[in-house]
């Protein structure tokens, strides 16, 4: 028995050449050999009947926005309760080292409260649900840690086999969790780029579905729900500035897509936040390209960083990330490991929350941007703490 979920999904569209693809079969990236850009899910927002008032009666998970998510039959939704994470004010830390926060209103969205303790749960809940709907039996992913854990968990819940390629130096918690979820783990001597090469080759050999960041269209749909939630939680408004720890950039691109969709729905106006990409000094290709006014990034890998999720030497969607930064009048900041660790300890000590190193990098970036007055004293700022520090205890 199929139960319609009310999804307004119409088709997939290549973000570069505009070619359209059916959303009723598996697709990864644009098939045009000279293009190979990412595919973006399109919806018929003009057919929407959901109201903001009705939304308030729905469960507090990301599936409350199901009309704007890709799953057609509600029986295919694979959920562990992801999304609708809290927005918490940073109100005690402002008093240290002079008055860092000033009159700014600074919040963090605590994505560590998602299943498997990171925002990767959103993307993989959407991707595995859609994979289930399309009859996928086996998946493969290259991961710095959190995506592998989330893929393994949702695959276990869906009864799908997952194959995971993870760098050897990843902290143990990430390896143990995927084994417990019954996935097949391959440890790779190298970075996520090396894992990606393996995953790609094995996917082709065995016919596994490759759910690499942005080479699969629906992880983006899951991550965009952060944008829907931010608007809803700010009373259908947006903050002045959003800081985002950028690896592959899915969350940054997803939030931008969500705000555009919300404007099409007439739920928000034209105002957009200034988007800030925060990177680790070990992999800061986006930062360098943005600061130098380039349209794309170059491969940059200076080795391991305490912020595993930021070790992405060349994001597949670099051009789109750079576009969002420019269009939003945003900025970029690159942060070293010792500053990341100091920031993590300050947040823990003053705010009672153990952030992931990726999230902690944002606190350092915030200090730099507020001290330089790039963030004005009157502005509202949101930091996305994308994951939990508990999985990184080996690194701390």
Ligand X SMILES: *Cc1c(COP(=O)(O)O)cnc(C)c1O
Q: Does 125 participate in binding ligand X (rule CB under 6 A)?
A: no
On whether the CB atoms of residues 312 and 286 are closer than 8 A, the answer is no
User: Which positions from 342 to 381 touch ligand X by CB under 6 A, shown as an x/- string?
Assistant: --------------x-x-----------------------
Neighbours of 5 (CB within 10 A): 20
Q: Residue 166 CB, nearest distance to ligand X (Å)? A: 12
Residue 35 interacting partner from ligand X, Zn ion, none (CB closer than 5 to 8 Å by kind)? Zn ion
Q: Does 279 participate in binding ligand X (rule CB under 6 A)?
A: no
On whether the CB atoms of residues 166 and 174 are closer than 8 A, the answer is yes
Q: Does 142 participate in binding ligand X (rule CB under 6 A)?
A: no
Gap between the terminal Cα atoms of the chain:
50
Part of the chain binding ligand X (CB under 6 A), chosen from 35-43, 78-86, 242-250, 280-288:
242-250
Query: Which residues ranging from 71 to 90 are in contact with ligand X (CB under 6 A)?
Result: none
Angle between helices 120-133 and 146-158 (to 10 degrees): 40
Size of the site for ligand X (CB under 6 A): 17
Residue 146 interacting partner from ligand X, Zn ion, none (CB closer than 5 to 8 Å by kind)? ligand X
Place of tokens 């000279």: 34
> Which member of 8, 9, 30, 203 binds Zn ion (CB under 5 A)?
30
Residue 387 interacting partner from ligand X, Zn ion, none (CB closer than 5 to 8 Å by kind)? ligand X
| Eight-class DSSP state of 183 | P
- Burial of residue 382 (CB within 10 Å: 0-12, 13-18, 19+) is buried
Part of the chain binding Zn ion (CB under 5 A), chosen from 10-18, 78-86, 271-279, 363-371:
10-18
Q: What is the spatial distance between Cα 189 and Cα 210, in angstroms, rounded to a whole number?
A: 20
Q: Does 334 participate in binding ligand X (rule CB under 6 A)?
A: no
Largest CA distance in the chain: 62
Place of tokens 């860092």: 100
Q: Does 118 participate in binding ligand X (rule CB under 6 A)?
A: yes
- C-alpha count within 13 angstroms, C-beta hemisphere, residue 265: 21
Q: Does 17 participate in binding Zn ion (rule CB under 5 A)?
A: yes
Q: Does 213 participate in binding ligand X (rule CB under 6 A)?
A: yes
On whether the CB atoms of residues 77 and 128 are closer than 8 A, the answer is no
Binding residues vs ligand X (CB under 6 A): 118, 120, 146-147, 213, 245-251, 309, 356, 358, 386-387
Binding residues vs Zn ion (CB under 5 A): 14, 16-17, 19, 30, 32, 35, 37
């Amino acid at each position: 028995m199929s139960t319609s979920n009310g999804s307004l999904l119409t088709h997939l569209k290549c973000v570069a050449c505009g070619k359209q693809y059916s959303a009723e079969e598996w697709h990864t990236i644009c098939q045009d050999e000279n293009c190979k850009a990412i595919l973006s899910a399109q919806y018929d927002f003009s057919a929407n009947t959901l109201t903001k008032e009705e939304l308030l009666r729905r469960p507090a998970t990301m599936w409350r926005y199901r009309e704007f998510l890709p799953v057609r039959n509600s029986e295919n939704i694979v959920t562990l309760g992801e999304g609708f994470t809290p927005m918490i004010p940073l109100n005690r830390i402002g008093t240290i080292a002079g008055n860092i926060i000033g009159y700014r209103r600074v919040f963090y969205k605590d994505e560590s409260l998602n299943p498997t303790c990171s925002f990767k749960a959103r993307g993989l809940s959407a991707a595995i649900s859609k994979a289930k709907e399309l009859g996928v039996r086996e998946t493969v992913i290259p991961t710095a840690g959190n995506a592998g854990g989330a893929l393994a968990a949702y695959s276990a819940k869906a009864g799908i086999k997952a194959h995971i390629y993870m760098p050897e130096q990843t902290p143990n918690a990430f390896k143990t969790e995927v084994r417990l979820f019954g996935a097949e783990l391959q440890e790779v001597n190298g970075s996520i780029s090396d894992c990606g090469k393996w995953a790609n080759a094995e996917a082709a050999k065995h016919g596994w579905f490759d759910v690499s960041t942005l080479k699969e269209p629906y992880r983006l749909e899951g991550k965009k729900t952060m944008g829907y939630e931010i608007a809803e939680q700010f009373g259908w408004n947006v903050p002045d500035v959003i800081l985002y720890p950028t690896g592959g950039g899915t969350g940054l691109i997803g939030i931008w897509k969500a705000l555009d969709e919300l404007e099409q729905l007439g739920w928000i106006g034209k105002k957009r936040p200034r988007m800030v990409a925060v990177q680790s000094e070990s992999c800061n290709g986006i930062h360098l390209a943005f600061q130098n006014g380039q349209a794309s990034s170059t491969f940059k890998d200076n080795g391991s960083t305490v912020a595993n999720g930021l070790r992405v030497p060349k994001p597949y969607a670099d051009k789109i990330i750079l576009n969002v930064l420019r269009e939003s009048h945003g900025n970029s900041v690159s942060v070293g490991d010792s500053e990341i660790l100091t920031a993590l300890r300050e947040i823990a000590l003053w705010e009672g929350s153990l952030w992931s190193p990726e999230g902690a990098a944002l606190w350092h970036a915030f200090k730099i941007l507020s001290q330089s007055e790039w963030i004005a004293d009157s502005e509202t700022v949101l930091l996305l703490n994308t994951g939990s520090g508990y999985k990184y205890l080996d690194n701390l």
